[in-house]
Amino acid sequence: MATATHLVTPEDAQTAAPLESVVVRFAGDSGDGMQLTGGQFTLSTALAGNDLATFPDFPAEIRAPQGTTFGVSAFQINFGSAAIETAGDAPDVLIAMNPAALKTNVGSLKPGGLVIADEGEFGARNLAKAGYESNPLEDGSLAKWQLIHFNISQLTLDAVKPFGLGNKEALRCKNMWTLGLALWMFDRERQPIEDWLTAKFAKAPELAEANIAALNAGHAYGETAEIGGQLHQQHLDPAPAEPGLYRTVTGAESLSLGLVAGAQLAGLPMFFGGYPITPASAILHHLSRLKEYGVTTFQAEDEIAAIGSAIGASFAGSLGVTSSSGPGIALKTEAMGLAIMTELPLVIVNSQRGGPSTGLPTKTEQSDLYQAVYGRNGDAPMPVIAARSPADAFDCAIEAVRIATQYMTPVMLLTDGYIANAAEPWKVPDMGGYEPFPVRFHDEAPAEGESVNPYARDEKRARVWIKPGTPSLMHRIGGIEKNVGTGHIDYAPENHQAMTEMRANKVLGVADSIAPQDVCLGEPGGKLVVVGWGSTYGPIHQAVRRARRRGLDVSHVHLRHIWPLPKNLGDLLRSYDQIIVPEMNTGQLKTLLRDQYLVDARPLNKISGQPFKIAEIEAAIEEALS
C-alpha cells in the first residue's frame, strides 16, 4: 500500500505487464507464534526490496483452547516486484501448522495453490477438534491444491535437541523452522532474523541459539529435501521505488509518530489520555515510550476519564489527545461535546473495528463514520479526517493536530483495525519539509476597564487560547452556552442561534485550509468514479488500475477530509456519469455524499470484518460500465 513512495504513474499502471507478486498466508494456533513469524518474514521481504502489504488476522480470545478453529491466528503478506497495495485477494501459499488452521484457511487458497502442512500435528485428537472425520492430508480432499506435508514438529525437535530444552519449549521453535523454510523458498537473507533473535533472547542465549538452529534447519530442509517440483525456490526482483531511506511501519506506529511530529510542529507538549481497547491500545503503547519528546501518557480509569484528562490538559496549554475504538468513542461522546462547546483543541483517534457493541474486536470495519460526523447530542460540528494506509496515518495525524490547534476544535482522526495492525514499507519523511504551525497563546492583559473575553476570535473564528497561570487573564469556561460577545453564561434564544452558527461556520471554514480534492487515478470527469475513504484505498486503487488497463473509463477519488468535505468535491463528483462508493459498512459515506451534493452515489458494501478483495470492486466496476 506504499503508494506515496512508488514510482507507478497512471500510465505505468495501464501499460505494465501483469504484476509479479506472491501472497503467502501463515496460519496456526494462537500459541504458535504466527504473528511473530509473519512480522519477521515481512521484515526480510522489505529488506529484499520488495513492496508489500500485510494482513494480520487473529482471534479476539487471548488464548483460545489449543487446536480449535476459533483459536486460529493467521498472517497474510502480499509482496512483489511492483507496487503492492493490498494484502492480496487469495493466497498462493498456505502454511498450515495444524488441522484447524488448514480447515479455516484452505478455502481461500487459489486453485492450484500450495499447501504446506505440519503432519506432526495431524493426530486423531487435533483432527477431531478441527472437525475432520478423516485426515485431509491423506484422504484426497485437498486434490485441487498442491500439497506438501512433513513432520515440522519432529524436524524442529531434532534440530533443537542439542540445547536441552523441554519438549514444550522445543516445540515453540516450530515457527522459526517454518520461517526458515519460507526464507529459503523466497531466497531471503537469514542474518537479520538471527540478529533479531539474538537481541530478543539476550537474557536466555540458549533460546536464541535453539531458535536460530530451528531457522537454519528449516532453511536447510528446503535446500536439500528432494520433494520434487512442488517446493521450489522463487526469486522476486526488488520493486522500483523512489530512492531514499525506508522502514516498515504499522498504522499504529506511524499515527503515533505523526502525533508527536504534529505536537512538535505546533510547539506544544503532548498529553495522551487513553484506556486499553483493541485495536487502539498500540497507540498508547508507542507513545508511552516517547517521553523525551514532551509526551505525557496517562492510562485512565475509563474512556471518559481518558478524554476528560485530555481536555483538562488542553485547557492547561498542552495538546490533548485521546484514542479508542468504537465502543470507547461512544463513551467519550459527552466529553467531545464539552470540547466543542469550550472550543479547546483535542485530537480523538478512532481505530474502528466491527460493531455495534463489542462486535468484532479484532476485525476491521469502517462503520463509525456516522458516529464521527453526526454522533453527538446538539448541533456539535467536528472536523473528521481518515487515514488511507499505515504510511498515510503519519500525515493525517499531523493534519489533525494542525486543524485542532489552528481552529481551536476537537478533531476526529479515523483509522481502523486493518491500518493499525498492517505493515507496509514507508519512505522515512524529511521532517524539514513540514511547515511548522506554532501556537500562540493569548497573553495580553485586557485594556483598563475592559474584561477578559475568552471567546474573542481570530479571522478563522478560532477563539483565543489562554493558559491558566497567565496573570490578568483569569476566566471561566464550561459546557453551558456562553455569550457570543463576552463569554459569560447566556441562555438567550438569539445568542444560542448565533453561537450555534458560529461553531458550525468555524468548522466549515476548515475547508479553506485544505487542498482541493484530487483524482488519485484517472481523470476529472468520465463515465464512472469510485469514491472511497480510509483503508479501502488499496483494493479500490488496484481494481481501478486493472479496469483502466482493460480500457474502462473509471477513476478513483479517495477522501482524506470527511468533514468538512473539500470545496470542489461536489463539482468533481458531478463530472462523472456514475458514482460507486465501496465501504466496509452499510453505506455511510454514500449517505453523506447524497446529502451534501444530491448526487446518485451508489453503495458497494462489505461488512464481514475482512477487507475488500480487488476482484470484488473490479466486478462492481464492470457491472456499472456494462
Partner 1 sequence: MNEMTKLTPKDFATDQEVRWCPGCGDYAVLKAVQRTMPELGVKPENTVFISGIGCSSRFPYYMETYGFHTIHGRAPTIATGVKLANPELDVWIITGDGDALSIGGNHTMHVLRRNLDCQILLFNNEIYGLTKGQYSPTSRVGTRSPSTPFGSVDRPANPCAFALGSAGRFVARAIDVSKQLPEVLKAAHAHRGAAFVEIFQNCIVYNDDVFASFTAKENAGNQLWLKAGEPMLFANGAKGITLDREALTLKVVDVADGDWEAAGVLVHDPKNKAVAHMLVDMPFGAFPMALGVIYDDPRPTFESAVVQQNAEASAGKAPDLQALVGKGQSWMVTKEPHAI
User: Which position has the grid cell 456562553?
Assistant: 482
C-beta closer to partner 1: residue 229 or 471: 471
Residues β-bridged to residue 95: 26, 116
Least separation in angstroms between CB 313 and partner 1: 4
User: Which position has the grid cell 463539482?
Assistant: 571
C-beta closer to partner 1: residue 5 or 105: 5
Least separation in angstroms between CB 47 and partner 1: 5
Least separation in angstroms between CB 168 and partner 1: 30
Stretch that binds partner 1, among 27-35, 334-342, 350-358, 558-566 (CB under 8 A): 334-342
Answer positive or negative: Cα dihedral of 182, 185, 186, 187.
positive
Length of the chain: 626
Interface with partner 1 (CB under 8 A), residue from 126, 248, 409, 585: 248
Interface with partner 1 (CB under 8 A), residue from 139, 237, 501, 595: 237
**Which grid cell sits at 598?**
444530491
Stretch that binds partner 1, among 83-91, 213-221, 329-337, 369-377 (CB under 8 A): 329-337
Interface with partner 1 (CB under 8 A), residue from 4, 16, 19, 47: 47
C-beta closer to partner 1: residue 72 or 249: 249
Least separation in angstroms between CB 318 and partner 1: 4
Please calculate the CA angle 519-525-526 and round it to the nearest 5 degrees: 115
Amino acid residing at 435:
E
The helix or strand, by DSSP H or E, that contains position 588, with its residue range, turns out to be helix 588-597
Least separation in angstroms between CB 297 and partner 1: 9
Least separation in angstroms between CB 446 and partner 1: 13
| Cα gap 547→539, rounded to integer Å | 12
C-beta closer to partner 1: residue 428 or 598: 428
Q: With 0-12 CB in 10 A as exposed, 13-18 as middle and 19+ as buried, what is 38?
A: buried
Interface with partner 1 (CB under 8 A), residue from 246, 370, 374, 437: 246
DSSP per-residue string spanning 522-584: S-SSEEEEEEEEGGGHHHHHHHHHHHHHTT--EEEEEESEEESPPTTHHHHHHTEEEEEEEES
Least separation in angstroms between CB 422 and partner 1: 16
Least separation in angstroms between CB 333 and partner 1: 11
Least separation in angstroms between CB 193 and partner 1: 11
C-beta closer to partner 1: residue 240 or 375: 240
**Residue 162 CB neighbour total at 10 angstroms:** 11
Segment 150 to 209, residues that bind partner 1, using CB under 8 A: 189, 192
Q: DSSP 3-state assignment of 117?
A: strand
C-beta closer to partner 1: residue 258 or 355: 258
Least separation in angstroms between CB 306 and partner 1: 8
Interface with partner 1 (CB under 8 A), residue from 117, 173, 252, 335: 335
| Cα gap 254→4, rounded to integer Å | 14
User: Which position has the grid cell 522463487?
Assistant: 234
Contact by Cβ (8 Å): 24, 77: yes
C-beta closer to partner 1: residue 172 or 427: 427
Segment 85 to 104, residues that bind partner 1, using CB under 8 A: none
Stretch that binds partner 1, among 110-118, 154-162, 254-262, 525-533 (CB under 8 A): 254-262
C-beta closer to partner 1: residue 81 or 555: 81
Site string for partner 1, 556-595 (x = CB under 8 A): ----------------------------------------
Segment 17 to 46, residues that bind partner 1, using CB under 8 A: 43, 46
Which DSSP symbol is given to 513? Answer: G
**Residue 224 CB neighbour total at 10 angstroms:** 9
Site string for partner 1, 452-481 (x = CB under 8 A): ---------------xxxxxxxxxxxxxx-
Least separation in angstroms between CB 143 and partner 1: 37
Using alpha carbons, list the distances in angstroms from residue 111 to 108, 146, 278, 554. Answer: 9, 9, 34, 30
Least separation in angstroms between CB 587 and partner 1: 33
Interface with partner 1 (CB under 8 A), residue from 488, 496, 567, 594: 488
Is there binding between residue 267 and partner 1 (CB under 8 A)?
no
Least separation in angstroms between CB 426 and partner 1: 9
551-590 burial, b if ≥16 CB within 10 A, otherwise e?
ebbbbbbbbbbbbbbbeebbebbeebebbbbbbbbebbbb
Site string for partner 1, 289-318 (x = CB under 8 A): -xxxxx-x-x-xxx-xxxxxxxxxxxxxxx
**Which grid cell sits at 70?**
476459533
With contacts defined by CB under 8 A, how many residues of the chain interact with partner 1? 80
The strand order across the sheet containing 114-118 reads 51-57, 72-80, 21-29, 93-96, 114-118, 146-150
Segment 273 to 292, residues that bind partner 1, using CB under 8 A: 273, 290-292
Amino acid residing at 189:
E
C-beta closer to partner 1: residue 113 or 251: 251
Segment 48 to 77, residues that bind partner 1, using CB under 8 A: 48-49
C-beta closer to partner 1: residue 111 or 469: 469
Interface with partner 1 (CB under 8 A), residue from 138, 242, 595, 623: 242
DSSP per-residue string spanning 315-371: HTTSEEEEEE-HHHHHHHHHHHHHHHHHT--EEEEEEE-B-STT-BTTS-----HHH
Interface with partner 1 (CB under 8 A), residue from 180, 320, 410, 417: 320
Segment 343 to 402, residues that bind partner 1, using CB under 8 A: 394
Q: DSSP 3-state assignment of 124?
A: helix
| Cα gap 555→570, rounded to integer Å | 16
**Residue 423 CB neighbour total at 10 angstroms:** 28
Segment 393 to 452, residues that bind partner 1, using CB under 8 A: 394, 428-432, 451
**Which grid cell sits at 361?**
474486536
**Residue 222 CB neighbour total at 10 angstroms:** 18
**Which grid cell sits at 24?**
503467502
C-beta closer to partner 1: residue 105 or 254: 254
Using alpha carbons, list the distances in angstroms from residue 176 to 75, 133, 596. Answer: 15, 30, 53
C-beta closer to partner 1: residue 322 or 591: 322
Least separation in angstroms between CB 534 and partner 1: 23
C-beta closer to partner 1: residue 78 or 81: 81
Round the CA-based radius of gyration of the chain to a whole number and report it.
Answer: 27
C-beta closer to partner 1: residue 100 or 263: 263
Least separation in angstroms between CB 603 and partner 1: 36
**Which grid cell sits at 82?**
511492483
